[in-house]
Structure 1
């Protein structure tokens, strides 16, 4: 028997704190006071007999005990939400919710959504973007049906499955006419003289970027700007001499249109799988299945075209 003292409010508050890594942020999201959120989490810890969060850091982090509980609590809440929606018989048929990383939201997803909406009139498509960790937390709690983007690290894939669509590399994008493009003997260390736009620490490609920079002896980047915003990155590099380190799919159309250029450096070692991440315990809805097929079709067309 589940301890009857554990209530839905305990689970919901815990999951929100784990997602935002902040007691204050969770309180705002749940429209309760911060002391109330703190008390709710403390009550849950007492009922479970273990500490869920490591409070010694600047931002809250799950303990090993908390990681295990989060995995099962998020899955259970997602299943409960889906059961309620199925019983009502309306929500799942009317909406598909997609978590999309920048690499697919810029190039693959627009074409897929256009095809999907043409064949699924009356279905609302909700697109949510953000860092990979944030999107996976939404997937676990049932707030999105699928996540499309690079595959996460293995330790983040417990309870989740991945379907590979294509592989993609990281590139270094600059404005046309950038001084480094004229360097007679280009090497990656030349970027140290310019401002650099980097993926944020919680971005799925950040470890890949750090490895290739270290491998080429790049250790002193100038005035780093961390961002996952396509709009900001695109606008900033067009106006400055900054160098944008980003997944190729984000800037592919800009390069094809002559708005951006790619630095002549071999980044094949950054090649990584892009595809769908879904929950293993919950079948996809009809709408989600239909959108996934539309994404597959677009990815296949790009692959055949050499993209």
Structure 2
């Protein structure tokens, strides 16, 4: 059994399709198929059930998955410990990010500062969905990921570090009739056409939760896949939207938007919450890991005074 077998197995288990798993591992699909067959033959057990549309883990596959993840995580920790013996920080840091992270994290500045401080660290950044991020962190394919938290999610083998929370506000075009007010009742918004994100997006799920909790219906006329398009549609008067307040503040001037505080009866509106996902900290390392050094850099940047309009 080789390390590649474990990596290929985990990728297929998490992606659920040979095509996407092969793309993730940067190999051809036939090579991935051969690797999985070799692993199943060595274990003497079928790890996946295959259909024309999807690949699913068998009971044996489910059992082996956690062990495979643990092996790769331990291997990654060992490599990092050995590479850092001479005092030079090496290793890797693979980050997962959210599309709506910019108002809360000065990401470009953060990445530049970390890379300047630790140039020997292998670095990688990729946008992740809220569905895939926890498994990728648990399997050590991603070392740290920012994650939107909608409910009381907990994932075995994943440490959840609260990072930021924000209030929800409504936005409309600066020419919309609602732009004459500073606030709006939630029940009044149900009469408006909504520009929403697609149903799998975390913010969309939170907005759906708001209306469900208050037993209200709304007209989701436009469903777009990214926030920039959502803001663009709202700015052109196609509808209204509900977004986190920091996102609204950062977009108001450039998109000619108007922000409205939402007045709602009980229950209170839920918060937009962002957490950091990583694997639980180990206490047997003599030096800080790349994840801990990244979190230190993030904390230092967060403590810096924000520039004023005069600077």
Moved more, 161-170 or 182-191: 182-191
Classify the secondary structure of the residue corresponding to 1:16: helix
Detail structure 1 runs of 4+ shifted over 6 Å in the superposition. none
**Structure 2 residue 179 is the aligned partner of structure 1 residue 169:** no
Indicate conservation of the 8 Å contact 2:194/2:240, yes or no: yes
Structure 1 alignment gaps of length 5 or more? 1-5
C-alpha deviation, 1:212, in angstroms? 1.0
Task: From the two aligned structures, give the one with the greater helix fraction.
Answer: 1
Classify the secondary structure of the residue corresponding to 2:221: strand
Classify the secondary structure of the residue corresponding to 2:106: helix
Equivalent-residue separation in structure 2 for 1:152 and 1:41 (angstroms): 35
Equivalent-residue separation in structure 1 for 2:13 and 2:257 (angstroms): 38
Classify the secondary structure of the residue corresponding to 1:173: strand
The residue number in structure 1 matching 2:292 is 289
TM-score (norm 1): 0.73
Moved more, 44-53 or 287-296: 44-53
Classify the secondary structure of the residue corresponding to 1:144: coil
Encode CA deviations 1:10-68: one digit per residue, 9 max, x unaligned: 32222222332321222333354435534544554563646545858x55455676455
Aligned-pair Cα RMSD in Å: 4.1
Encode CA deviations 1:166-187: one digit per residue, 9 max, x unaligned: 3223444333223444589744
Q: Report 1 or 2 for greater relative contact order, CA contacts < 8 Å, sequence distance ≥ 6.
A: 1
Classify the secondary structure of the residue corresponding to 2:132: helix
**Structure 2 residue 249 is the aligned partner of structure 1 residue 252:** yes
The residue number in structure 2 matching 1:241 is 238
C-alpha deviation, 1:196, in angstroms? 2.0
TM-score (norm 2): 0.72
The residue number in structure 2 matching 1:197 is 196
Structure 2 alignment gaps of length 5 or more? 307-311
**Structure 2 residue 5 is the aligned partner of structure 1 residue 10:** yes
Indicate conservation of the 8 Å contact 2:9/2:36, yes or no: yes
Indicate conservation of the 8 Å contact 2:49/2:55, yes or no: yes
Indicate conservation of the 8 Å contact 2:184/2:261, yes or no: no
C-alpha deviation, 1:159, in angstroms? 0.5
Classify the secondary structure of the residue corresponding to 1:139: helix
